[in-house]
Structure 1
Amino acid sequence: MNVEQVFREEHGRLLATLVKRFGDLDLAEEVTSEAIEAALRHWPVDGVPDRPGAWLLTTARRKAVDRLRRDRVYAARLALLQVEFSRADAPAGESLPDERLELFFTCAHPALAEEDRGALVLRCLAGFTTPEVARAYLVPVPTMQQRIVRAKKKIKQARIPFRVPDPHELPERLPGVLQALYSIFTEGYAAQRDDLADEAVRLARILRNLLPDREVTGLLALMLLVHARRDARPALLEDQDRSLWDRDMIAEGSALAERALTGGYGPYGVQAAINALHDEAPDFAGTDWPQIVALYDVLAGLTPSPVVALNRAAAVAMRDGAAAGLALLDALADEPKLRDYHPYRAARADLLHRLGRDAEAAQAYREAIALAGTDTEQDFLRRRLAAVEGRS
């Protein structure tokens, strides 16, 4: 068994269980790290135990109790915990409880800043170190440290409970959890950080097992259908070698997308259905563009946004021609959210190129390169620019 894989799989469950028991995220993180350090010392010599989660939980509990014994403020709480441990501390047969759902909703609580939610999910549930989280979000480590500290402080100060929201609270709270996971996935996919995208998919699977909601199913389907094309990046969809696509992942994602749309439409389910049409098409020309435009119309009704309008315009260009798509893009030129959004500039460049307006296309590609956030995206756009300038 791969020890690193064990740590990734057990970290979130262990931390969630300790937070539930102690009610203190900082303490839980510290003893989780100490338990993993102890495992790194013992497991290479003694072997990975049959129940690695139980081993880590027992070790972390003991370390937490040692810390609490030194702090009189926690004396009363410690007495209660020791009674609890005496009943449950049976490492040989104990299975680690799965209380991650509480931590999902705590990390994505609406009281936290949006930029902090995904960072907390990676740090707490995926077991990433702070430098790894910083690298995922392309920010300096001190900046990420401040974000994580700020989020933890907010949890304490606002007394955000470590619990699953009541049923009437779920419609407000669940979107934050899903958005945090999807942000992690899109960042990993765009930057070709497959480890990051894989973690987002794994966490989405966990969330769906814990909460089989229709939109959770839709999000997992969407991730799988996009991630299935990872080996064909960074080429545009029309230029990708479809033999490189993961057909098993596509089949799973398509089945989940169909399930997500049973009984109603949700934003992630609709996006999954759009990507299923892309993945199931025999080739780019054979894509069902009228159906994709129709689904974008549904999505625009559910979550109207400039980005949805941009994607719809690209689909209209394939259905009705480049000129029709460009007219829709030009109508979005004054949208503030698209001003610094490089895919908008790249989409305009592509349609201008198709219409033979290469000087304008080259300028749009230069603008897109200046706005792109990763080296991978910039390199791809530079190649597109070189092709346009070559034809000119």
Structure 2
Amino acid sequence: MHAGESVWRELAPRTLARLLRTYGSDQFELCEDAVQDALLDAFRQWTDRLPDDPQAWLATVARRRYVDRVRADARRRERETRATMLDAPLAQDTTETGSDGLDTGSDDALLVLQLCCHPDLPRSGQVALTLRAVAGLTTRQIANAYHVPEATIAQRITRSKRRLTELDRAFPQPQHVHERLAPVLDVLYVMFTEAHHTTSGAPAQDTDLAAEAIQLARTLRNAAPDSTEAAGLLALMLLTEARHPARVGPRGQLIPLDEQDRHRWHRPFIDEGLAMLDEVTPGATPGPYLLQACIAGLHAAAADAEATDWDEIHALYTVLEHQTLGRNPTITLNRIVAQSMVEGPRVGLAALEVLAHEHPQLARLDSVRAHLLERSGRIDEAIAAYQRAIRVTVNVAEQQYLRHRLHRLKR
């Protein structure tokens, strides 16, 4: 019986971290290749049952694969000089403790996050490399999250690996988390976004990836307890994930927020997220993640859709839009949705046309337009907009939802 995807996602970054500690961060590309080789071996061999200690097994095989790769590459003298390091015990460090007393086994994924977010790498490269190395996302998934071609993401990952090899810096320690906090937050946000709204839409949500993102956000929150943005991101994840039981129907169909059975929301996550906001928001200068968490908190606190404080949500999105200098069209789109709930769909449609002129290829543009047209009673135009939205949507679950709305209008 093969291990579930959550097992691979947990073991891979920890194994990569162990190799990097042994051989150096300048060997990032070789270490990552060795881990991938070991994962392939594990997939082939763990067919009946898992080994007694999967992490130790994978670390041992990964080190052997690293040895094989170094010995096979005689072209680089630097790698040849590492031959003396190759006889180290292969099954060591099943449990490691860092210099600060932390159990590094529980923090390895965060350590790899910090390495990939090296300050000498461009932000775009930091995010792309980490999403591959830690989250295990494909280039297509990463490209979808950033609305750029796959080839661009592949180039960023390759260049970042080469740059890490050139740097030859020591593996980062947990106390350095503040130096790289912003890109780490960005990576975890994209990771959770992909989990909550998968690229393919089949399934509509990747629950294992969402759980991994939340666990990493908890680790980051513990490592940076004075960061309101780390707290905001974790609260945002908890409040968003709380809606999952009511967001996806029994056949995998998406259920919009205003139609969800709020009794099915996961109350412990809501209570934890709201309590975190109560703790960190007073007196804080909110950043983008804390602002988004506050918006999610308003949705969570409302007894039903009609009780939602859309005035406050619109105000928060306006602040968020100004804070990000209007460079994120998705935030503007969400602000327009909130504005339409306050001022009516006609105002929302007018604002949407301005956004469409600036960003004609923006995802969800036609689906939001269709919804606002439907609310305005312009049914024929709404039907046409739903049809356009279906044609440009690659997410299967979202396509299914849009078709449902379209069929309802055609009756």
- Taking structure 1 as the reference length, the TM-score comes to 0.78
Q: Is the 8 A contact 1:11 1:32 kept in 2?
A: yes
- Counterpart in 1 of 2:236? 222
Partner of 1:19: 20
Which residue number in structure 1 is paired with residue 262 of structure 2?
242
Q: Could you tell me how far 1:26 is from its partner in structure 2?
A: 2.4
Aligned amino acid, residue 278 of structure 2? E
Q: Distance in 1 between matches of 2:404 and 2:126?
A: 35
Name the counterpart of 1:176: 183
Q: State, as a whole percentage, how many aligned pairs show the same letter.
A: 39
Task: Name the structure 2 match of 1:204.
Answer: 217
Query: What residue identity is the alignment partner of 1:215?
Result: E
Question: What is the match of residue 273 of structure 2?
Answer: 253
| Structure 1 pair 380–160 and aligned structure 2 pair: CA distance change class (3 A) | farther
Q: Does 1:346 align with 2:349?
A: no
Which amino acid letter does the alignment assign opposite residue 180 of structure 1? V
Runs of 5+ unmatched residues, structure 2? 98-102, 249-253
* Equivalent runs, 1:106-117 vs 2, <5 Å: 106-109=115-118, 111-112=121-122, 114=124, 117=126
CA deviation vs aligned residue, 1:315-369 (integer Å, no higher than 9, x gap): 22223333343343344342x23x1123233222222221212222223323322
Match of 2:323 in 1: 302
Change (3 A) 1:74 1:288: same
Listed one character per residue, the Cα deviations across residues 68-122 of structure 1 (whole Å, up to 9, x for unaligned) are: 567664455454686xx58x975576567345444213434573573x6555334
Aligned to 1:376: 397
Shift in Å, 1:270: 0.9
Residues in 1 aligned to 2:95 and 2:376: alpha-carbon distance in whole angstroms: 68
d(CA) in 2 for partners of 1:272, 1:385: 32
Instruction: Give the 5 Å matches for 1:60-99.
Output: 60-61=62-63, 64=66, 73-74=78-79, 76-79=81-84, 94=96, 97=104, 98-99=107-108
8 Å contact kept, 1:14–1:57:
yes
What letter matches 1:133 in structure 2? T
The one-letter code sitting in structure 2 at the alignment partner of 1:186 is T
Q: Is the 8 A contact 2:220 2:230 kept in 1?
A: yes
What TM-score do you get using the length of structure 2 for normalisation?
0.75
Match of 1:152 in 2: 161
Count of residues in correspondence between the two structures: 377
Deviating more after overlay: 289-298 vs 39-48: 39-48
Bigger drift between 24-33 and 214-223 goes to 24-33
Provide the C-alpha distance between the structure 2 equivalents of 1:208 and 1:22, rounded to a whole number of angstroms: 29
Q: Say if 1:310 and 1:329, in contact at 8 Å, map to a contact too.
A: yes
**What is the aligned partner in structure 1 of residue 346 from structure 2?**
323
Alignment of 1:254-269 (within 5 A): 254-262=274-282, 263-269=284-290
**Pairwise CA distance, 1:35:** 4.9
1:287 to partner: Cα distance: 0.9
1:124 counterpart = 2:133: yes
Deviates more, 1:190-199 or 1:158-167: 158-167
Residue 381 (structure 2) pairs with residue 360 (structure 1): yes
Of structures 1 and 2, the one scoring higher in RCO (CA 8 A, sep 6+) is: 2
Alignment match of 2:138 (pick from 133, 136, 143): 133
Return the letter of the residue paired with 1:256. Answer: M
The 3 A distance-change label for structure 1 pair 9 and 259 is farther
Q: Does the CA contact (< 8 Å) of 1:39 and 1:56 recur in 2? A: yes
Does the 8 Å CA contact 1:3/1:48 hold for their aligned counterparts?
Answer: no
Structure 1 180/273 Cα, relative in aligned 2: closer, same or farther at 3 Å? Answer: same
Give the alignment's Cα RMSD to 1 decimal.
Answer: 3.9
TM-aligned CA deviation for residue 52 of structure 1: 4.9
Match of 2:113 in 1: 104
* Greater per-residue helix proportion: 1
Contact 2:239 2:297 in 1 (8 A): yes
Q: 1:46 to 1:246 in 2, by over 3 A?
A: closer
